[in-house]
Structure 1
């Protein structure tokens, strides 16, 4: 049977993936709207004169300041994807944007005495199925938490599933929640495209460590395409224990927060978006210690999302902001270039290159 890469071009396959993700993530449009209604965001903006900065909205709605970045992500969905609010840039203000009511959000205002027209109850009813979803309930409870910024934060996912992390649930309930299978299928889909379109990022290397590489799908694909490249997978002991035998990939049990085996390059495929900025800095510092200087060929290869990169495309933008809301349920973050840059420089790296050729994702080459 012919491979899909033989039948379709890389761009056709990436466009097909975009279509499937865009359709699948449509649920999070409803989640974002339900959160905004539950937190009385339209009311807060209305009381502030119909336009307000995010900090003003947080204070008016009584939301913890710790949620500023996360509420910005919800509002981004409601502007980019939903058109429920609009944004206006304020070049003279310390805040980057002001959020303004639209006709749609005006119809959600509870205390709007200027009109008797309201669709709040109607929309609330239509969101019932969304509100009853465990993840949606977890996100609502999470936004209502009031805690110090330094306090260890649980995730919306854990609040929805009795304190279990996404990885714990994947271990305990693999049939209903096939997380590992989903990650493996993504690797099987993406790596042939990566090697076809961007294989040069791996050429010239003698050794590579795939950090948190699971059962080695990505490393095996790279090793098959470049037999001279020695590939190693680093993952937790319980993951490595399940690794297949008789492959051309070496497996090392360990923890990326502790240390990473020495190699010319480190691969981080779809990993960093799972973690906070501080955690990403820790991981990248360990990566930096594992590789030689740039002059000696050392680099980090990151496959992840760079929000807003690539040519403008509304479906692509919507999919990125919706995926950002999805990853928020495990306290992950999808980042724009400036957010990535801050992490890279905090970790001690000096230069990077973004290659936006993987649909909603990009390859980033990071240099010490």
Structure 2
């Protein structure tokens, strides 16, 4: 049966409505995830050593009896979204449902080597994500970053003024770095022949420490804002240096830009890359710049992966940055004076790009 709306079938309209409602209520997915991290549920299940029943979970959390049903609703949504697995506890007569960890929720167990809970806490903090209510204002006002619509200044200025949020942000970046480090362990070819490397925007040194542990003969400098590195102590082959990457970058055989360039406009990226080029170019010797960032490839990658990258492309616009496809990356490299580049896989989301002067 046809509808009076543009001659659409009723089934098409109902499907469109479902898609609309799915996106309209998508924030509930994010808030449910935030709730599970705030309640430390992945860690509780991990420490329990086996799937935990609803009654055990609410007992540990000391949930009022009037809210038990709401906990179950949240857990069922999270399970449907892949964060938990619902299993039946055969030992109980009533076969009470229980919840087990999945690979995804294992990444939220606090105290483990690979824990992304700080990323969830940072990204979903109200102080940061309230800006996303202001797309309209941001779009109409020139030179206004999305964060500035709610924070009153850009992110970096806000972090410099607010130590607690600076810590929250740095913890989030450090947790993400551990995921990248997992990939770097299989990238020996990147570090072959290098005596020194500078990790620009290296934060508290999570990646730098892994590089130094894996390659003890390689000298690593973690280079970041003075506020970030001022109280950090290095080791035999790891040092911390404060500075501004727009002014100069310490000299080395290689410069690492891990998830840095996507924060900046094309014009700023070219400035940064030129400083990095100066850092790896000395008399008679030319090193390389190593970029770890997203490369959008809609024609060759799975739809779900592209969707995440496009979501990140909108998200990073809060800093006036962008995610780029290969042609956009190539344009930056050439305009910054580099002659060649090579792209290799790194993680599911990120690629490793070696660029040469």
> 1:208·1:265 contact (CA, 8 Å) conserved in 2?
yes
CA distance in 2, matches of 1:350, 1:273: 21
Alignment of 1:189-208 (within 5 A): 189-196=179-186, 198-208=187-197
In the other structure, the counterpart of 1:184 is 174
Determine if the alignment matches structure 1 residue 135 to structure 2 residue 131: yes
Match of 1:353 among 342, 345, 349: 342
2:313 counterpart of 1:317: no
The 3 A distance-change label for structure 1 pair 143 and 175 is closer
Deviation, 1:126, is 5.0
Larger Rg: 2
Distance 1:326 1:297 in 2: 35
SS of 1:363's equivalent? Answer: strand
How far apart in 2 are the matches of 1:199 and 1:138?
44
Equivalent in the alignment of 1:341 = 330
Shift of 1:158: 1.1
Pick from 230, 244, 268: which aligns with 1:241? Answer: 230
Equivalent of 2:149 in 149, 159, 165 = 159
SS at match of 2:344: strand
Figure out how many residues of one structure are paired with residues of the other and give that number. Answer: 249
Corresponding residue SS for 1:261: coil
Distance 1:305 1:220 in 2: 23
Matches within 5 A, 1:9-158: 126=24, 134-145=130-141, 147=142, 153-158=143-148
1:251 to 2:240 alignment:
yes
8 Å Cα contact 1:274-1:330 kept in structure 2: yes
Distance 2:191 2:249 in 1: 19
Superposed CA deviations along residues 247-305 of structure 1, whole A, max 9, x for unmatched, are 63111121100011111110000100000000000000011111137984510001001
Q: Secondary structure at the match of 2:204?
A: coil
Checking the alignment, whether the CA contact within 8 Å between 2:233 and 2:239 is kept in structure 1 is no
**How many Å apart are 1:351 and its aligned residue?**
0.3
Distance, in Å, in 2 between the alignment partners of 1:314 and 1:128 is: 18
Match of 2:164 among 160, 174, 177: 174
**Which residue does 2:107 correspond to in 1?**
none
Q: Is it true that 1:222 corresponds to 2:218 in the alignment?
A: no
What CA distance in whole angstroms lies between the structure 1 residues aligned with 2:200 and 2:299?
A: 26
Match in the other structure for 1:265: 254
CA contact (8 A) 1:307 1:334 kept: yes
SS, match of residue 174 in structure 1? helix
- 1:158–1:166 contact (8 Å) kept in structure 2: no
Give the 3 Å change call, closer, same or farther, for CA 253–229 of structure 1 in structure 2.
same
SS in 1 for 2:185: helix
- CA, structure 1 residues 363+176, in 2 after alignment: closer, same or farther (shift >3 Å)? closer
* Contact 2:159–2:165 under 8 Å retained in 1: no
Structure 1 CA distance for aligned equivalents of residues 341 and 292 of structure 2: 13
Note if contact 2:233-2:240 (Cα within 8 Å) is conserved in structure 1.
Answer: no
Q: Normalising by structure 1, what TM-score?
A: 0.60
After TM superposition, give the deviation of residue 163 of structure 1 in Å.
2.8
Offset of residue 233 of structure 1: 1.3
Q: 2: distance between equivalents of 1:218 and 1:308?
A: 26
Indicate if the aligned counterparts of 1:257 and 1:282 stay in contact, CA closer than 8 A: yes
State the alpha-carbon separation in 1 of the partners of residues 198 and 275 from structure 2.
Answer: 12
The change in CA–CA distance for 1:103 and 1:192 in structure 2 (over 3 A counts) is: farther
> Are 1:291 and 2:280 an aligned pair?
yes
